[in-house]
Amino acid sequence: MRIDIITIFPEIFESPFAYSIIKRAKDKGIVDIHFHNLRDYSQNKHKNVDDYPYGGGAGMVMMIEPIAACIDKLKEERTYDEVIYTSPDGELLDQKVANHLSTFGNIIILCGHYKGIDERVRQNYITREISIGNYVLSGGELAAIVLCDSIIRLIPGVLGDETSALSDSFQNNLLAPPVYTRPANYKGMLVPDILLSGNDSEIVKWRYEKSVERTKTCRPDMLNEQE
């Protein structure tokens, strides 16, 4: 999968993309991430990418020219499955959306700033708007990082154990069951016997029951979402 990220702050991505699962996915060549600094596409000498809103009002608006120039150049080089804009107005990111996006070959993610982007970008370039939650961030970069992480870990081959993404919370509309590791007895706090029993089918059953129990307690709304 190739991800092209258009941003005015490419540096924000350095650390989150340099460790752990995303790093492994990049090293294995499973994901190829490219950054495009919007200022490089600015057509004025001050490298501005924003301007005052027509009609007045507070805040600046991201201009269409640099965004269009960048997207047009990328589209000349390859075709894209989706041109995503991270915005609080978008559809809410959930596991289903992440699963779907993880099947794509090439995507563009545009990170918004200021009061937003010129509406003509939305109308003519953006194919999908995604929000990571019902709150407003200072910019789309953090949302893009969350979005990329949620997608990349689902691409086959990224996680060492293929089943581990399948047993994540949300993957089957249930939260993940509790997990334990050594020691089996920490100051009298014990690991449930069943997990030490070696009885695989009973362990699978126990885990399912615990998943249901945890979902009922912590996120009962998820059970009502079952299709």
Looking at the Cβ atoms of 31 and 137, the one nearer to ligand ADE is 137
Q: Is 143 among the residues that bind ligand ADE (CB under 6 A)?
A: yes
Stretch that binds ligand ADE, among 82-90, 100-108, 178-186, 212-220 (CB under 6 A): 82-90
Mask for 5-44, x = binds ligand ADE (CB under 6 A) = ----------------------------------------
At its nearest, how many Å lie between ligand ADE and the CB of residue 8? 13
Q: Give one word for 130, left, alpha or beta, with left for phi > 0 and alpha for psi -120 to 50.
A: beta
Q: Whole-angstrom Cα distance, residue 69 to residue 217?
A: 50
133 lines the binding site for ligand ADE (CB under 6 A)? yes
Q: Is the separation of the CB atoms in 62 and 121 below 8 Å?
A: yes
Number of residues that bind ligand ADE (CB under 6 A): 12
* 3-state SS class at 21: helix
Is 59 a residue that touches ligand ADE (CB under 6 A)?
no
Which residues is 7 bridged to in the sheet? 37
Pairwise CA distance, residues 145 & 150, whole Å: 9
| Terminal Cα distance for the chain, rounded | 29
| Interface ranges with ligand ADE (CB under 6 A) | 86-88, 112, 131-133, 135-137, 140, 143
